[in-house]
Amino acid sequence: MKLTFRMHHSSPNLEECVTEHLTSKSQTYSDCNDNLLYLTATPHEVGLSAQWLGRISSTTQGFIDNQRLAGAVTLVARRGKVAHFEAYGMMDIKADKPMQKDTIFRIYSMTKPIAAVGVMMLCEEGRLTLDAPASVYLPELSGLKVAQDPEGDLFTPVKVDRAMTVQDLMQHTAGLPGAARYMGGNTAVDKLYREAGLHRLHECNLRELVERLGRIPLLYQPGTKWHYSIAADVLGRLIEVASAQPFDQFLAERIFQPLGMVDTGFYVPVEKIDRLAGMYGSKPSGGLQTIDAPEGGTGHISKASFIEKPRFLSAGGGLVSTASDFARFCLMLSGKGALSGKRLMKAESIELMTCNHLPENLIPLDKKPEDRYGGLGFGLGVSVRVQQTDWVPASQIGEYGWIGGTSTEFWISPRDELVSITLAQHIPFSALSHTVKPLVYAAIVKD
């Protein structure tokens, strides 16, 4: 299937926002951020059970009370309206600061779907084509070879069977490694990545990343394996080249500002720093401890992480956001490219993004059915549920979303017009979102 778009001109000149102020304030969460004020409803109005939504609150509070998390925010929306939005626990234990609905979180890999939306917008405008070789736009990636034995101490590079495409980058079938692999691996390919300085991505910009990747063999032939990787960061550079804008400027002007995502970006400005949540981990003896927050997309530990503009604008993990900001992004996806009368993208772009594109031999992403990746395929920047498993029996086929490495997650069920967002700042990944998911589905009132 040829994945191309005709030129689309509606995004820069968005329609006027048409919204109607809610007349009833009962259980509408009208005290939330202004950028969700017109997007709220009572549970009953959107076919949800207030009792089951209350169980989300009590379950999340249990994680706080048992010191499994310092704090969290949960949000559930249906039919384009937010019906549940709560904050729990502490955003900063030492400073005795309670978690707030407008607390700013490092969302890490939840950045990836936002970058994917940017690519799809450029496809609509004819500036990118999904099945085109990435080297058409990034000539540094022409002439790539593949390591014949990527797990060995020695390797003989061979020619690629076919070129890495833009779509390969979006669905992690490009042949690139993940940062965790080459930072700690001892194979010949891992060593080449370190010699190229790719274990110090915080010292690079996106252009330099692509230049260095062009000199190193791929791990496998493009299209033959799904391997979670730094491909999303390459998409950041692709967006820069296709749009002729810095990546952060493109996101701000084309996505964040039109959607009203007022607290989303690559760092927290000084006037908002008191809203940034602390990062926590579990003590071996039980309880919580403050830990350093790794820089988005690089793993680098620095006091400047997320409070100063980074050199490396990671499309794979560099953003901070709030629950209400990210809800607006999710409601746009759930609304097939439109939010409150504003159309950001074509509906068919969203549909293409959020359906599975992996062949059967690459599904599930993880062959262990008990793993969180069990039953998942992959779309363009998001995972897509293609099989039901015992690990997540409540999930619906077609549900899509993604996670961030410090206990952030979102998912959307198109069939149920349902959006769920769970945000915390905890390493390793908390079980909260997995525990909450069945409660969200159970809250749907059957007609």
SS3 195: helix
C-alpha dihedral sign at 5, 11, 15, 20 = positive
Candidate from 33-42, 335-344, 379-388 with smallest mean pLDDT: 33-42
Within-domain flag for 76: no
SS3 119: helix
Residues 397, 388 contacting (CB under 8 angstroms)? yes
- CA 68/CA 361 separation, integer angstroms: 37
- CA 198/CA 179 separation, integer angstroms: 8
- CA 246/CA 249 separation, integer angstroms: 5
pLDDT at 22 over 50: no
Residues 109, 405 contacting (CB under 8 angstroms)? yes
SS3 325: helix
Within-domain flag for 352: no
- C-alpha closest to that of 74 among 341, 424, 363, 365: 424
What is the SS3 assignment for 370-396?
CCCCCCEEECCCCEEECCCCCCCCCCC
CATH of the domain at 148: 3.40.710.10
**pLDDT value of position 38:** 76
In terms of Cβ atoms closer than 10 Å to its own Cβ (0-12, 13-18, 19+), residue 107 is: buried
Distances in whole angstroms, Cα of residue 214 to Cα of each of 93, 146, 155, 261: 45, 11, 17, 34
Within-domain flag for 202: yes
Strands 81-92 and 426-427: unpaired
pTM of the model: 0.91
In one-letter notation, the amino acid at residue 121 is M
In one-letter notation, the amino acid at residue 428 is P
Average pLDDT, the chain: 89
Within-domain flag for 164: yes
- C-alpha closest to that of 213 among 243, 187, 182, 244: 182
Q: What is the mean pLDDT of residues 119-133?
A: 99
- C-alpha closest to that of 231 among 178, 191, 184, 195: 178
- CA 442/CA 447 separation, integer angstroms: 13
pLDDT at 255 over 90: yes
Q: What is the mean pLDDT of residues 405-414?
A: 97
Beginning with the edge strand found earlier in the chain, give each strand of the sheet holding 408-413 in spatial order.
97-98, 81-92, 71-78, 418-423, 408-413, 400-404, 383-385, 376-378
Q: Please report, in angstroms and rounded to a whole number, the separation of the first and last CA atoms in the chain.
A: 38
pLDDT band at residue 361, thresholds of 50, 70 and 90?
A: very high
Question: ω before 284 within 30° of 0 (cis)?
Answer: no
Within-domain flag for 378: no
pLDDT at 251 over 50: yes
**pLDDT value of position 32:** 44
Domain that holds residue 167: 117-245
How many domains does one find in the chain?
1
Q: What is the mean pLDDT of residues 427-445?
A: 96
pLDDT at 299 over 90: no
**pLDDT value of position 8:** 34
- Top pLDDT among 340 and 155 is at 340
Candidate from 40-44, 256-260, 360-364 with smallest mean pLDDT: 360-364
SS3 135: helix
Distances in whole angstroms, Cα of residue 230 to Cα of each of 154, 237, 341, 394: 23, 12, 35, 31
Within-domain flag for 156: yes
Within-domain flag for 325: no
The per-residue DSSP string of 286-322 comes to SSEEE-PPBPTTT--B-TTTTTS--SS--TTT--EE-
Distances in whole angstroms, Cα of residue 99 to Cα of each of 8, 11, 262, 320, 424: 41, 35, 19, 16, 10
CA 22 to chain CA centroid, Å, is: 30
pLDDT band at residue 301, thresholds of 50, 70 and 90?
A: confident
The enclosing H or E element of 423 equals: strand 418-423
In one-letter notation, the amino acid at residue 38 is Y
Within-domain flag for 428: no
For the chain, how are helix, strand and coil distributed in percent, rounded to 5?
30, 15, 50
